[in-house]
Amino acid sequence: MAKNTPTPHIGAQYGEIAETVIMAGDPLRAKLMAERFLENPVLYNEVRGMLGYTGTYKGKRVSVQGHGMGIPSIGIYSYELFNFYGVKTIIRVGSAGSMSPDLHIGDLVMAMGACTNSHYADQYQLPGTYAPIADFGLLRAAVEKAEELGYRYKVGNIYSSDIFYDERQGTPEWQKMGVLAVEMEAAALYMNAARCGAKALCICTISDSMVTGEATTAEERQNSFTRMMDVAFGIV
């Protein structure tokens, strides 16, 4: 394992980050997780404002960190964590837009697979189309934890889009393929994990619906989407 740290994007020394990292796009959500779940959290990164903390949760060493928005951003941070800091498991918690009439504000989506319009996989020069998937052990544990806590959830495919304001309006086509929700990062996380022989899972909270028009504010997304965190910390 390479130890050429700090990296250009993470200011921690090797050993300051736990083998399990729970990540969120918003660094303030990472700060919230550190304050809410970790005992004795220590700030290890604030480069570019992408906050990262290490502490303990029920006696186990765990880190939390922001990863920014979009596949290029999570691609950088998860790559550095896996390749330079000895991280073995990353669980992403984030928001997603519902494409399913059965998913409403606050419901959880466990991303079994992640479709994408990104060309992130081109770097691997594969002779076909790669299907990014979650680690089954993490997925099964997350489902069991959500059942135990009584949280509403669905398991299935999500769509990791490079485009937030998409003029092509491709939602109906993805809906026809049974895709549950759209976000912007899981596919790259799953690819990086696969390439490094590591584990990854994306758990999302529905923040808005393309079906019903339901929506939440940025403050609500930052501070109130804690059920996905309960599940993530419950399986570390």
Q: Please identify every residue annotated as catalytic.
A: 208
Indicate the length of the chain as a whole number.
236
Residue listed under structure tokens 């398991």: 155
144: which 2 tokens? Answer: 């069991």
Round to whole Å and give the CA distance between 119 and 17.
29
172: which 2 tokens? Answer: 């109906």
Q: Give Cβ neighbours of residue 153 (< 8 Å, ≥ 6 apart).
A: 107, 108, 109, 110, 143, 146
Round to whole Å and give the CA distance between 228 and 143.
11
Backbone angles phi, psi at 153, to 5 degrees: -155, 165
Round to whole Å and give the CA distance between 109 and 10.
29
Q: Do the beta carbons of residue 142 and residue 201 sit within 8 Å?
A: yes
